[in-house]
Amino acid sequence: MNSFLLYENTDKLSAPAYYDAKSIIQDLGLKALFLAAAKEVIYEESGQVKRVAKEDLYIQDCMRKVMMIPLRTKEEIRYRQEILDDFLKHEDLIRALYEISSKVLAEWNKLGRGVMEKMSNSNPAAKLISDIRVIKLLSDNIVAIREMLLEKKDELHSHGLRDLLKRLQEEYSEEREAYVKKVLSDVDFYVGDGDPDEFVSLVEKPRIVLECGMEEGLKFSSLKLQEVSSVKTKFYKPGGTISKLQDMKNSRIPDSFSTVKETAIRDQTSQLEFQIVSYLIGSMASMVTDFGTFFDSLHLQSAFYLGALNLKHQMKRFNLEWCLPKVCGQDKLAFTELKEFVMCLEQRVDAVGNTCNMDHKMLLIVTGANQGGKSTFLRSIGIAQVMMQSGLMVTAEHFESGIFPDLFTHFTRREDSEMNSGRLDEELNRMNQIIENLGERSLILLNESFATTTEKEGSVIAYDIIKALNEIGVKILTVTHLLSFAQKEYQESQANPASDIEFLSAERKQGGVRTFKMIQHAPELTSFGLDLYESIVEKKESM
Amino acid sequence: MAEGFSILDKYESPHTDAPRPAFYLDLNLNQILDKVTQTWGKQVKKMFLYFPKDAQCEQYRRGVYGDVKQEGCYDALMKFLEMTAKMEENQKQEEAVASAMQKDVWHLWAIWHYCEAFEGLRAQLQKLELSSEGMKEFLRLLGEHLDSEGYKTMRSRVDSILKELMGFRFTITYDKDRMIISEGTTQGDYEAFVEKGGDHDRIRLKSPFLVSPNLSDLENECLSVLASKRPKIFAALKETAEKYQSFGLDWCFQFIQEIPYYLSFRGFQLDMEQKGCVFCTPTVDENQETSAEELYDLALKLVAQREGRKVVSNSFAYQPGESFFVLTGPNQGGKTTFARSLGQLIFFTKMGLDVPARKANVRYYRNILTHFSVEESIETGRGKLKEELIRLAPMMEDYEENDFVVINELFTTAATYDAEIMGKKVLTHFIDQHCQGIYVTHLKELASAHPKVVSLRAMLNEERLQTFRIARSEAEESACAANQVNKYRLTYEQLKERL
């Protein structure tokens, strides 16, 4: 039985992950996003945010795993978006699915999942009792899920959830459910949950009818099971008066003997009970394997959507607009009021939104003032791209982009961008790794790459690499201080009417005021570093 | 007469727990017979430890073996042994269980399998054209036994009791801490319910009673209830088991013990033939001298097969008036192997079995005597010579005539002068005793020791490499190690070329 909530035709997370997921997580700051997804936002009755719950580590881990495996087609993304849409409209449903699957797995662990198999030799009876309880646990919860989906049937529109209900109805039909319930109630005596401590309580006693023959050595064989049931009887203390009277009465049954008087016979009778119950439980064994993996995958998959739901509430908390992105061709990238989600989460503020429409552009060069929001801008695109490619919503009024399963980030981090050959070597090495692992649909985000050498050299390196990559159809978004490089690209694009390069710059208003908005702008020869220097130095001097 | 019948021996057989004859190890027969009897066990191996009493007895076995080799006979006998194995298993079960009732039933099963085994064998053998005295007599005696009134009564009584017991169905109802036993079947059918609603590849209901061959207390209790309801059948069981406490005929049981002698070798031979080995039934014409074509060392063949090597076979023939081969030639040239293969030829002929050669005629020899130098012996010099002589002495004291003698490298440590004299004496002694045989030596002078001696030599090819071919030829001292050096391309020139 499959849950198929992440992919239409597999429960396995076996599709390839991003080549360097670790760098993507680090460069885009996704850790904060995973963490936010793991925290439920709890509201007051008034609708005010009361608090944020402690993180659920399983969800956090699940988000990391699932988000780092990009979807590869429009259909795959659509499949998840539909399911997400259903869940966002029926929050109780996704919460219940996650809760049920967590509960089933936790209880199953308590019953010794995995461990019991090893115990089956030393204590087969305990293993059998555990098996009975596991089957009951699975059956009850499969039914609960099936009924819950059935109830909402008309309100659910996604293929994923509608098919899940259909499969549950087929693979755990009412007939099968009835069979399981009947057998479980017939073998109830074996579990012995009765409570004999009370004065007069009920205990379950077996009634078994068995047809037998004899084999060569008179050993009983070719057993045929005719009847099994659990009969509720009043419990009397063994050896007590009532118990003795009953024994006397029973001993008058012709052609019979007691199974409790002699130890050997009592033991052999319980062996017989064991074999019969084993046989009956064995007739439902497939359920354990089939639905065991079902709950495993449901747990993971529902964790992802619950994480998504939590993200939605985080967006709501910071008044961020969100939308389900639209998948389009790879030469298109357009968005309205795109905000950098991670920064919002970390700084707990609304951020400046950017709007941009790049048609037929394969290279974006962002230049401009330091601290002007260039890196934030680049990250906002990267985060949205990753979220879109895992079927999630993005923090924008509108977002559309192509699918790039081969997404790479190549960020130079300010704090270690010292000028030495070791660093450049490391950077080039990383670039080499990326080039070796390029796919058919590659997108590279370059953030101040090759800044570990002189501007002049760095420009040449950047120009050559980017040109070569562009020529084989790799899309590149770059934030750069390499103004020689940017200038050269700009001059070329001016000369070529069919140029596929877009130039943006951090807006700087009169008097050096930063708006953190990117505007179409030719690269300048200065990066306004002087301003920054002055303001900082002056500040410093004034202190 | 019937009580004394043996498929191994025409006359009263000398079934003794004889020690392994000395020639066994020398001829590597232990390696061969281990392989022959590897799935048969010690008892069968013991039957290969002694020779039939005389030439007639050897012929008796050869005849039986000829019949065993007939199409269908080996399979029928193997099937027969499968049945008797079940009988023996039943007897062990009878021993093992504690309940008298169970003992009785196992006893009846043992009888049943006895009957099935011999009746089945008779039916199969009747289809064959048996030609040997032994097998024909066996079939005749078996017919008398199986057609006797006593046998027929036993068979039908056992059959009817077992049939009734095995067809018996009863119902156990476990309720209110009691087991209630009733005959026949009841209505409910939980199993059908499980069949319909449960997994299709579900496990079967296992009987908890089969963990021990003994009846459990639970079964015993049930059975005593059943016995009280069906006294007749249980009484008949007891009575029949007592009446036929001993069943079957002694010679029949002896047949079960003895027939594996032929079957083990036949199975081995079939296996070897499938791997490309050649065997033949030797003729034993006293008017012809002993000879063989494409004779090979069977023990070496077994080793070579494991290692994927080939074994060279050789042909030889004594001419009228020739008593001894004196075999000389290079070391590692196949001398010992050839001597062994001769000994094996005589051994398997005497045992009435097929021999490892394409064609062979073997005269009757009373016994086989062998003397091989023990290379692994720690003793050297005088010590070794002493040890050799101690082993040689009893062979020469035995004044029985007409033995086949295999001597391999006597007196290697003695002074050549002494060795020559001693060797000649040994040869002369055996020739005088009308023995025949082969003497492997490094002393070429022995080849002319006696007019009845023929010289054979292990041959080299033009490159001075061993061919393992043995031919009549002038005697030659052992060649030096040059050929081995050659073989491995280790001469000065060769090394120059290679390096």
Q: Does residue B17 fall inside a structural domain?
A: no
| Strand, helix or coil for residue A369 | coil
Q: Does residue B207 fall inside a structural domain?
A: no
Q: Does residue B369 fall inside a structural domain?
A: yes
Q: Does residue B292 fall inside a structural domain?
A: yes
Confidence class of residue A115 from pLDDT cuts 50, 70 and 90?
confident
More confident of the two residues A507 and B133: B133
Alpha helices, DSSP H, located in A352-449: 374-388, 421-436
Top residue of B201, B207, B211, B233 to mutate, by most chain A CBs within 10 Å, is B207
Q: Which of A216, A271, A283 sits opposite B194 (nearest CB)?
A: A283
pLDDT at B38 over 50: yes
Query: What is the pLDDT at residue A426?
Result: 73
Query: What is the pLDDT at residue A268?
Result: 92
- Chain A residues with CB under 8 Å of B109 CB are 216-217
CA dist list (Å): B494 to A183, A433, B485: 85, 54, 10
Q: Do A228 and B190 touch (CB under 8 A)?
A: yes
Residue pLDDT, tens place only, B61-110: 999 999 999 999 999 999 999 999 999 999 999 999 888 999 999 999 99
Q: How far from each other are the two terminal CA atoms of chain B, in whole angstroms?
A: 79
- Chain A residues with CB under 8 Å of B178 CB are 250-251, 253, 256-259
DSSP state letters, A318-349: TT---B--EE--TTEEEEEEE--HHHHHHHTS
Query: What is the pLDDT at residue B477?
Result: 55
Looking at the structure, tell me whether residues B251 and B314 fall in a common domain: no
Top residue of B112, B181, B194, B238 to mutate, by most chain A CBs within 10 Å, is B194
Other Cβ atoms closer than 10 A to B430: 24
Strands A398-401 and B436-440: unpaired
Looking at the structure, tell me whether residues B299 and B226 fall in a common domain: no
**Residues forming a β-bridge with A42:** A51
Single-letter amino acid code for the residue at B199: D
- Asked if A68 and A25 count as a contact pair (C-beta separation under 8 A), the reply is yes
Q: Do B218 and A217 touch (CB under 8 A)?
A: no
Q: Smallest CA–CA separation between A250 and chain B, in Å?
A: 8
Q: How far is CA A73 from the centre of its chain?
A: 19
CATH of the domain at B448: 3.40.50.300
Burial of residue B243, with CB atoms counted within 10 A of its CB: 0-12 exposed, 13-18 middle, 19 or more buried? exposed
Gap between the Cα atoms of A434 and A13, Å rounded: 23
- Asked if B441 and B327 count as a contact pair (C-beta separation under 8 A), the reply is yes
Q: Which stretch of DSSP H or E encloses residue B467?
A: strand B466-472
Confidence class of residue A471 from pLDDT cuts 50, 70 and 90?
confident
Contacts of B245 (CB under 8 A, 6+ apart): B107
More confident of the two residues B225 and A538: B225
- Asked if A404 and A330 count as a contact pair (C-beta separation under 8 A), the reply is yes
Q: How far is CA A334 from the centre of its chain?
A: 27
What percentage of chain A exceeds 90 in pLDDT?
A: 57
Q: Which of A176, A182, A279 sits opposite B203 (nearest CB)?
A: A279
Is the sign of the CA dihedral A272, A276, A279, A282 positive or negative? negative
More confident of the two residues B88 and B16: B88
Mean pLDDT of the residues in chain A = 87
Q: Which of A259, A275, A284 sits opposite B208 (nearest CB)?
A: A275
Mean per-residue pLDDT, A213-232: 88
Q: Smallest CA–CA separation between A180 and chain B, in Å?
A: 8
Gap between the Cα atoms of B35 and B33, Å rounded: 5
Residue pLDDT, tens place only, A418-464: 444 456 677 777 888 888 888 889 999 999 887 766 666 778 788 88
Q: Do B177 and A205 touch (CB under 8 A)?
A: yes
Confidence class of residue B307 from pLDDT cuts 50, 70 and 90?
confident
Strands B404-408 and B178-183: unpaired
More confident of the two residues A124 and A384: A384
Q: Do B209 and A220 touch (CB under 8 A)?
A: yes
- Chain B residues with CB under 8 Å of A135 CB are none
Q: Do B174 and A210 touch (CB under 8 A)?
A: yes
CA dist list (Å): A88 to A84, A308, A495, B11: 6, 9, 50, 101
Q: Smallest CA–CA separation between A277 and chain B, in Å?
A: 9
Q: Do A272 and B216 touch (CB under 8 A)?
A: no
Q: Do B174 and A207 touch (CB under 8 A)?
A: yes
- Chain B residues with CB under 8 Å of A175 CB are 197
pLDDT at A168 over 60: yes
Looking at the structure, tell me whether residues B380 and B471 fall in a common domain: yes
Domain boundaries, chain A: 21-157+285-305, 189-282, 319-542
- Chain B residues with CB under 8 Å of A274 CB are 208
Confidence class of residue B3 from pLDDT cuts 50, 70 and 90?
low
Residue B51 CA neighbour count, 13 Å, CB half? 20
Single-letter amino acid code for the residue at A188: D
Looking at the structure, tell me whether residues B247 and B284 fall in a common domain: no
Alpha helices, DSSP H, located in B433-491: 482-487
What percentage of chain B exceeds 70 in pLDDT?
A: 88
CA-atom Rg of chain B in angstroms: 32
Give residue for tokens 């156990």.
B172
Gap between the Cα atoms of A473 and A53, Å rounded: 45
Contacts of B410 (CB under 8 A, 6+ apart): B371, B373, B388, B392, B419, B422, B423, B426, B439, B441
Query: What is the pLDDT at residue B464?
Result: 65
- Chain A residues with CB under 8 Å of B99 CB are 218
Mean per-residue pLDDT, B254-279: 95
Residue pLDDT, tens place only, B406-415: 998 777 656 6
pLDDT at B479 over 50: no
Gap between the Cα atoms of A191 and A281, Å rounded: 12
Top residue of A181, A253, A257 to mutate, by most chain B CBs within 10 Å, is A257
DSSP state letters, B157-196: HHHHHHHHHHT--EEEEEETTEEEEEES--S--HHHHHHH
Q: Which stretch of DSSP H or E encloses residue A400?
A: strand A398-401
pLDDT at B367 over 80: yes
Q: Do A278 and B109 touch (CB under 8 A)?
A: no
Q: Does residue B31 fall inside a structural domain?
A: no
> From B91, which residue of chain A is nearest by alpha-carbon distance?
A217
> From A224, which residue of chain B is nearest by alpha-carbon distance?
B191
Q: Smallest CA–CA separation between A140 and chain B, in Å?
A: 17
Q: Do B198 and A284 touch (CB under 8 A)?
A: yes
Q: Does residue B34 fall inside a structural domain?
A: no
Other Cβ atoms closer than 10 A to B415: 10
Gap between the Cα atoms of A454 and A457, Å rounded: 5
- Asked if B446 and B423 count as a contact pair (C-beta separation under 8 A), the reply is yes
Strands B453-460 and B466-472: antiparallel
> From A172, which residue of chain B is nearest by alpha-carbon distance?
B197
Listed residue (A340, A219, A205) closest to A260, CA to CA:
A205
Q: Does residue B46 fall inside a structural domain?
A: no
> From A266, which residue of chain B is nearest by alpha-carbon distance?
B218
| CB pairs A-B closer than 8 Å | 188
Query: What is the pLDDT at residue B48?
Result: 93
Looking at the structure, tell me whether residues B417 and B298 fall in a common domain: yes
Residue pLDDT, tens place only, B368-399: 999 887 654 444 445 566 777 878 888 887 77
Which homologous superfamily does the CATH classification assign to the domain defined by A319-542? P-loop containing nucleotide triphosphate hydrolases (3.40.50.300)
Phi first, then psi, for residue B294 (nearest 5°) are: 50, 50
Looking at the structure, tell me whether residues B280 and B244 fall in a common domain: no
More confident of the two residues B69 and B400: B69
More confident of the two residues B493 and B476: B476
Is the sign of the CA dihedral A306, A312, A316, A319 positive or negative? positive
Q: Do A275 and B205 touch (CB under 8 A)?
A: yes
Q: Smallest CA–CA separation between A439 and chain B, in Å?
A: 46
- Chain B residues with CB under 8 Å of A216 CB are 90, 105-106, 109, 166
Number of structural domains chain B divides into:
2
Top residue of B87, B109, B189, B216 to mutate, by most chain A CBs within 10 Å, is B216
- Chain B residues with CB under 8 Å of A280 CB are 194, 198
Confidence class of residue B333 from pLDDT cuts 50, 70 and 90?
confident
Listed residue (B371, B375, B421, B374) closest to B398, CA to CA:
B371
More confident of the two residues A73 and A288: A73
- Chain A residues with CB under 8 Å of B213 CB are 217, 219
| Strand, helix or coil for residue B474 | coil
Q: At what angle do helices B335-350 and B29-36 cross, to 10 degrees?
A: 50
Q: Do B170 and A264 touch (CB under 8 A)?
A: no
Mean per-residue pLDDT, B254-276: 95
Give residue for tokens 């032994």.
B134
Looking at the structure, tell me whether residues B282 and B311 fall in a common domain: yes
Q: Which of B102, B202, B218 sits opposite A283 (nearest CB)?
A: B202
Single-letter amino acid code for the residue at B384: K
Residue B300 CA neighbour count, 13 Å, CB half? 21
Q: Smallest CA–CA separation between B75 and chain A, in Å?
A: 27
Single-letter amino acid code for the residue at B204: R
Q: Does residue B30 fall inside a structural domain?
A: no
- Chain B residues with CB under 8 Å of A251 CB are 178
Listed residue (A502, A493, A536, A537) closest to A521, CA to CA:
A502
Mean per-residue pLDDT, B296-316: 91
- Chain A residues with CB under 8 Å of B165 CB are 214, 218
| Buried/exposed code over A42-76 (b: 16+ C-beta within 10 A; e: otherwise) | eeeeeeeeeeeeebbebbbebbbbbbbbbbeeeeb
Q: Do A209 and B208 touch (CB under 8 A)?
A: no
Q: Do A226 and B187 touch (CB under 8 A)?
A: yes
Looking at the structure, tell me whether residues B313 and B448 fall in a common domain: yes
Q: How far from each other are the two terminal CA atoms of chain A, in whole angstroms?
A: 69
Top residue of A181, A187, A203, A214 to mutate, by most chain B CBs within 10 Å, is A214
**Residues forming a β-bridge with A520:** A504
Listed residue (B444, B404, B399) closest to B423, CA to CA:
B444
Gap between the Cα atoms of A418 and A430, Å rounded: 17
Give residue for tokens 């390839």.
A16
Q: Smallest CA–CA separation between B187 and chain A, in Å?
A: 7
> From A249, which residue of chain B is nearest by alpha-carbon distance?
B176
Domain that includes residue B121, residue range: 1-6+51-201+212-259
